[in-house]
Chain A
């Protein structure tokens, strides 16, 4: 494929109090791809996500989305440009309803403000209806339509992750960043999630995900980027990555460490 990458990350670097969390990471994401960002715990994966979504400012390096540099933009601006995210530790509006959680995502595609609301200006009502329709559609898409009245905190863990995805989709993104979407899910839920991610890609949304479930990653990602200690140690197709000696060492190291614990 010769199409220009939708996201281009160049020499990205971020340190926290002298610790290099992300060190000179460079990779591209092609439009319409599902790309996995993998690596042992503490490798800097979530930091890369937080840099992309504007939660952190990089010390150095560029992030270019659709030809536009986004490193100095605030998170909400980045979302309205078309990058949506989910959080590793679920961050829903726990006391609000499932429907209202998704309406949060609709927010950046709406216009009406204080005066529109107070004086019911024309267009405000239609806009509300359109937002409700989008929200219900996205809930339907992830399979939570039946629960739209529930408070978010009453959903099961797996459903909470799906709700985060629905909220992200409601922002009408071109690029979706998923941070451990299968975390805490059982096997059935993970299977459904795999199908859902493929469906999201089929809607024309590019997906970048962090995941520890290697089975899932190998199955759906076209490309993998491997981080260790903040540095990128490999990138390529799942087949290439599985054969890469540095990756094997990195993961064996983790396995050994875990053996000692148990």
Chain B
């Protein structure tokens, strides 16, 4: 077995067993890590693969969370049934807001997405359409049911969240190694050359946004179920910064890197709780230092490998 496979098995085994060794507090920390990992993986599609500097991911997260909160509290629809619908709401929102802005240059896109996330937050605070509950938010979201069992404790949520995260990783690994994943990488490397090679860059950028938003919306569904109370405070610009930092510091475009980033950035401050106040100070400094010394993150993206064995005469067994 290759070392990477061994590592994968060990990590999965440890994650499966972790709740047996940990008290609810630490399981809850792991739950946060799992949710942020999903959010960061969904942002990674936009920011990591396609290289689009998007700092408004909290807006899509909020769309999903509020869709679940509103439909559950108003119409009593079971929470987990709303999982796809929350994704679709966030995806539709992304389709509308991203279309006019995706052609913007990197730093301009960054600014515009910051503007969008702030407008969304202000809209939530101002109780837009009278359905978001204003600054207090929405409470009384019901607990999710799965196979007739109510999910309530951190330990129960742990398996829900990590199953969702595992499915996300599996599907995104496949996505990375596909025509779609490559197309996003071409756009990141050189937009003009990608278009000149026959790739519909505008379409792919939009799809990246919609897909990333769809996933963030689903993460929002689970977040709403876990919290049972949602309020605009959970969707500030800083929330976007945390997701952005996870991707950039962990390794944008590398799934392992993003997962590691989620563990470090959400988990470490819990380990060093006496320094919790300095967490953001440390993030900021780390971002500067990383850009200077390791601009591609802790685990930079790796080249894909291709199996060329099926070709009649292959130069080497396997691509790099």
Contacts and interface: CB of A to CB of B under 8 A. Distances in A.
Direct contact of A and B (CB under 8 A): yes
B186 A104 contact: yes
Interface residues of B, number: 38
B197 A118 contact: no
The secondary structure that dominates the A interface is helix
Contacts, number: 120
Contact of B196 (A55, A103, A124): A55
A26 interface: no
Nearest to A172: B198
Contacts of B303: 96-97, 100, 151
B143 interface: no
B185 interface: yes
Contacts of B195: 74-76
Given A85-B196, A128-B179, A118 B189 contact: no
Interface string A92-104: 1111110110011
Interface string A59-95: 0000000000000001111011000110100011111
A99 B319 CA distance: 9
Interface in A103-146: 103-105, 107-108, 110, 112-114, 116-118, 120, 124, 127-129, 131-133, 136, 145-146
Interface of A: 53, 55, 74-77, 79-80, 84-85, 87, 91-97, 99-100, 103-105, 107-108, 110, 112-114, 116-118, 120, 124, 127-129, 131-133, 136, 145-146, 148-149, 151, 167-168, 171
B198 A93 contact: no
Given A118-B174, A151-B303, 19 more contacts: A55-B196, A75-B195, A76-B199, A85-B196, A87-B196, A91-B196, A96-B185, A96-B303, A100-B182, A100-B185, A104-B197, A104-B199, A107-B182, A107-B198, A112-B179, A113-B179, A114-B180, A114-B211, A168-B197
Contacts of B174: 117-118, 120
Contacts of A80: 198
Contacts of B193: 87, 91-93, 104
B185 to A, nearest CB: 6
B319 A117 contact: no
A21 B202 CA distance: 27
B262 to A, nearest CB: 21
A63 B180 CA distance: 31
B181 interface: yes
A145 B319 contact: no
A76 B175 contact: no
A85 B183 CA distance: 18
B316 interface: yes
A254 B112 CA distance: 48
A85 B194 CA distance: 11
B157 to A, nearest CB: 25
A117 B182 contact: no
Given A74-B200, A108-B198, A149 B316 contact: yes
Contacts of B311: 132-133, 136
A117 B189 contact: no
| 4 cross-chain pairs, A with B, having the tightest CB-CB distances, nearest first | A108-B198, A117-B178, A79-B198, A91-B193
Contact of A146 (B197, B202, B315): B315
